[in-house]
Amino acid sequence: MRADVITIFPEYLAPLDLSLIGQARRRGVLDLRVHDLRDFTHDRHRTVDDTPYGGGAGMVMKPEPWGEALDRLVAGQASRPVLIVPGPGGMPFTQAMARELATEDWLVFGCGRYEGIDERVYEHAAHLAEVRVVSLGDYVLNGGEVAVLAMVEAIMRLVPGVIGNAESLVEESHEGGLLEYPVYTKPASWRGLDVPDVLLSGDHGRIASWRHRKRLERTAARRPDLLHTASAITSADLESVP
């Protein structure tokens, strides 16, 4: 998969060189490129913002550098990317969306700053890409970079070849709509706290039903809103949770 990130803080994306995503980049599974929006300005101060028309607080990102950056990266290419613009007013980012985006060949991320990007950029970009405004959650960040780090990691770890053991992706939180069961490792007893006996039993059937039970209980306690839409749940399960 190819991904391009456009930002005024390329250093913010440095963590994408670490850990599994970094390894996948070095192995050539992911082609991730970070671009400085200021490289598409032409004035001495490399200006990317200006005051808002209509007045009001803060600054707005100017359309020209965005237009040039998108033209340079996307125009005239054989394929059309999905352009993801993080924003608190966007569609909520979910595991289902990450799964869908992980099947794309090419993603472009545009990191907003200040009060956001001039609205005409979205209109222009729609000629070049499938544009999606995506929110990390119902709160406001200073810029899109943190959101892109989170989205890139959630999407890329689902790209085949990025994570060595693909099975570890199957039973995770939000897969099937339930949260993950509690996990334990050695030692079996630590500070007077014991690993549940069932996990030491070697009985795979009992372990599987214990884990399913725990997923239900945890989801009911922490995210009851998920219970009624989860696919990994039966009506008997629903009746049994508190």
- Closest to ligand SAM by CB, 81 or 86: 86
User: Minimum distance between the CB of residue 218 and ligand SAM, rounded to whole angstroms?
Assistant: 25
Is 140 known to sit in a ligand binding site?
yes
Q: Judged by CB under 6 A, does residue 144 bind ligand SAM? A: yes
Is 136 known to sit in a ligand binding site?
yes
User: Minimum distance between the CB of residue 236 and ligand SAM, rounded to whole angstroms?
Assistant: 38
- Closest to ligand SAM by CB, 32 or 85: 85
- Residue of 65, 67, 81, 116 that binds ligand SAM (CB under 6 A): 116
Return d(Cα 76, Cα 74) in angstroms, integer.
6
| Angle subtended at Cα 187 by Cα 181 and Cα 190, rounded to the nearest 5 degrees | 85
- Closest to ligand SAM by CB, 104 or 122: 122
Is 112 known to sit in a ligand binding site?
yes
Largest CA distance in the chain: 69
- Closest to ligand SAM by CB, 8 or 230: 8
| Angle subtended at Cα 127 by Cα 122 and Cα 132, rounded to the nearest 5 degrees | 45
The torsion angles phi and psi of 150, rounded to 5 degrees, stand at -65, -45
Owner of token pair 């609205």: 119
Q: Judged by CB under 6 A, does residue 161 bind ligand SAM? A: no
Which 8-37 residues touch ligand SAM, going by CB under 6 A? none
Instruction: Using alpha carbons, select from 24, 65, 48 the residue that is nearest to residue 152.
Output: 24
Mark the segment that binds ligand SAM (CB under 6 A) among 23-31, 139-147, 181-189, 218-226. Answer: 139-147
- Residue of 11, 43, 45, 139 that binds ligand SAM (CB under 6 A): 139
- Residue of 15, 31, 77, 137 that binds ligand SAM (CB under 6 A): 137
- Closest to ligand SAM by CB, 63 or 88: 88
Report which DSSP code applies to 90: E
| Angle subtended at Cα 27 by Cα 26 and Cα 31, rounded to the nearest 5 degrees | 70
Which 173-192 residues touch ligand SAM, going by CB under 6 A? none
Return d(Cα 155, Cα 223) in angstroms, integer.
22
Q: What number of H helices and E strands is found in the chain?
A: 8, 9
Could you tell me which residues come within 8 angstroms of residue 80 by beta carbon, excluding any fewer than 6 positions away?
Answer: 74, 128, 129, 130
Q: Judged by CB under 6 A, does residue 89 bind ligand SAM? A: yes
Alpha helices in the chain (DSSP H): 19-27, 63-74, 95-101, 119-125, 145-156, 204-222, 224-227, 235-240
**Which spans of this chain sit near ligand SAM (rule: CB under 6 A)?**
86-89, 111-113, 115-116, 135-137, 139-144, 147
- Would you list which residues are annotated within the binding site for S-adenosyl-L-methionine? 112, 136-141
- Would you list which residues are annotated within the binding site? 112, 136-141
